[in-house]
Amino acid sequence: MSKGLQIIEFAQGIAGPMAGARLVELGASVIKIEGAEGDWLRGAAPAMPDNNGESGGDSASFFHLNRGKRSLALGPNPASARALFDALLHKADVLITDRSDEELRALGLEDLCEDAYLPNPRLVRVHISPLGRHGPIRNYQGSELTSQAMAGYTRYLGTHGQPARRLGADVASTGTGMFAVQAVLAAIFARGRTGKGQRVDLSLLNSLLSMKSIHIAAQCDPDVYAGPRVGGANFPPERGWKTRDEPIFFSFGGSVGAEGRPGWVEFVKEIGAEHLLQDKRFDHRGRNSTGHGTDVNALRQVYEKEFARFSADTLVDIIRKHTGNAARYMRADETVAHAQTVALGIVQDVPGRDGSSQRVRGFPVRFSRLKPQIQGVAPRLGEHTAEIARDAGFAEDVVSQLVEKGALRLVA
């Protein structure tokens, strides 16, 4: 049922476009409406190289997040495009927008600000904002970074009292993108039963707090104020265990009960650290001295002294052999090249524009029946303006008038 969905994406940046991109792969058709300046993510760094290897075009993030969509560009006087908006929304199944209610009203689209959209009651409308639909600061601007800070994520990196750090991953935006896909699919599912569309509100800040549920619950009224879920903000930076080359993370604890994993004994024997078996600090077979165990920071250096004789990859293999969990801290390019990533077909080469080939990530879920279609071409700003207007029933001379009035912009 997601196949054939007609989606209007009046959104820029990461969250809304990410939802649109994943829905394209599930078979939806997406019209991306952009302001006269284009989606601001087009101008982010780094830029994609063009066919000549020059890098002056759209950003890599824009390219990946907008593959398979058609672009309609508004002109400097977008309020004059009201009739076209109405026509597009009348035919659409879904609207994904990050424009505030204030901005929508300025375009004459006040109907969209209500719970029910009377001109097309079947329309599912997903509204994405930085800070939520209601509340005293609902109209303030926000970003990935401000969301991370407000939701308390930056506290779990760096050192308290030292300059703050961000999560390198755009977690607020991508999290919201994933929730927006859910919102669309769930609302379409409900529409199949009720015949009605509805408005769904999401925000970057909300997404991060939803995904912080474990930590929020931990901090309510804990019996003991101990462990990373309550004290983590005050812990030193987590850099794993040093080895001869690269650091690793490893654990013989986890969900294995009070006594740790039996494999820990064989593991310390294999690395020639039998003395740990007699060391009272290392009881419970590694449960407290590995992973997020209570004694990790006190005993880290004892392990590291032994690990100095081994490469990270060798240690990881030994730990896994003895039923522990382990991984080397890899860079993203190493992750892409790893045999496991390759085996899953996570990165694919697909046809791009003008016969080029593009390396892109596939759909993050594998289905036994559904076959997501991975796209390799992102639209230029306004590339499909005329075609979309024509499809919406606007004659060529009317489109020309809209362009003259500054309502629309044709491709440069």
Partner 1 sequence: MQVKQQGPLTGLRVMDVSIMAAGPWTGALLGMLGAEVIKVEPPAGDGTRWVMPTQRGMGTNYVSMNVNKKDIVLDFKTEQGRRDALDLMATCDVFVQNFRGGVIERLKLDYESVKARNPRLIYCAICGFGETGPLSTAGCADPIMQAFSGFARSNGVPQEGVEALRFTGFIDLATAAVATEGILAALLDREVCGEGQKVEVSMLEAALEVQYTRYAELLGTGLVPSPRGSESAAFVPDGAYLGQDREIFITVHNESQWKGFCAALEKPDWLADPRFADNRKRVSHRQALSALIVPVIRSRPAFWWLRVLQRHGVPSSMAHHFETYRHHAQILANDMIARFDTPLWGEFFVGGLPWHFSETPCSVQAPPQSGEHTQEVLEELHGLQATVEEAK
Q: Which is nearer to partner 1, 278 or 412 (CB)?
A: 412
Residue 86 Cβ, how far from partner 1 at the closest point, in Å?
Answer: 21
Q: Which is nearer to partner 1, 231 or 272 (CB)?
A: 231
**Are the C-beta atoms of residues 272 and 324 closer than 8 Å to each other?**
no
380 binds partner 1 (CB under 8 A): no
Cα distance between residue 383 and residue 347, in whole Å: 27
**Are the C-beta atoms of residues 204 and 15 closer than 8 Å to each other?**
yes
Q: Which is nearer to partner 1, 49 or 119 (CB)?
A: 49
Strands 408-409 and 124-129: unpaired
Q: Which is nearer to partner 1, 118 or 214 (CB)?
A: 214
Angle at 353 between CA 20 and CA 184, to 5 degrees: 10
183 binds partner 1 (CB under 8 A): yes
Which residues, 339 to 368, sit near partner 1 by CB under 8 A? 339-344, 346-347, 358-361, 364-368
Which residues, 304 to 323, sit near partner 1 by CB under 8 A? 320, 323
Please identify, among the stretches 1-9, 80-88, 102-110, 297-305, the one whose residues bind partner 1 according to the rule CB under 8 A: 1-9
Hey, what are 406's tokens?
A: 């500054």
Q: Which is nearer to partner 1, 188 or 389 (CB)?
A: 188
Which residues, 104 to 133, sit near partner 1 by CB under 8 A? 115-116, 130-133
The one among 134, 354, 355, 397 contacting partner 1 by CB under 8 A: 134
Which residues, 190 to 219, sit near partner 1 by CB under 8 A? 190, 192-194, 196-203, 205-207, 209-219
Which residues, 141 to 180, sit near partner 1 by CB under 8 A? 141-158, 163-171, 173-175, 177-180
As a dihedral over the C-alpha atoms of residue 265, residue 266, residue 271, residue 274, rounded to 10 degrees, the angle is: 40
Hey, what are 147's tokens?
A: 């969301």
DSSP 61-118: HHHHHTTT-EEEEE-S-GGGGHHHHHHHHHH-SEEEE---HHHHHHTT-GGGGSSS-T
The one among 91, 105, 122, 138 contacting partner 1 by CB under 8 A: 138
Which residues, 229 to 258, sit near partner 1 by CB under 8 A? 229-230, 232-233, 235, 237-240, 247-249, 251, 254-257
How many residues lie near partner 1 (CB under 8 A)?
A: 167
The one among 244, 259, 269, 329 contacting partner 1 by CB under 8 A: 329
Which residues, 68 to 97, sit near partner 1 by CB under 8 A? none
Cα distance between residue 270 and residue 307, in whole Å: 12
Cβ density class 101-124: b for 16+ within 10 Å, e for less: beebeebbbebbbeeebeebeebb
Residue 40, C-beta contacts closer than 8 angstroms, at least 6 positions apart:
12, 13
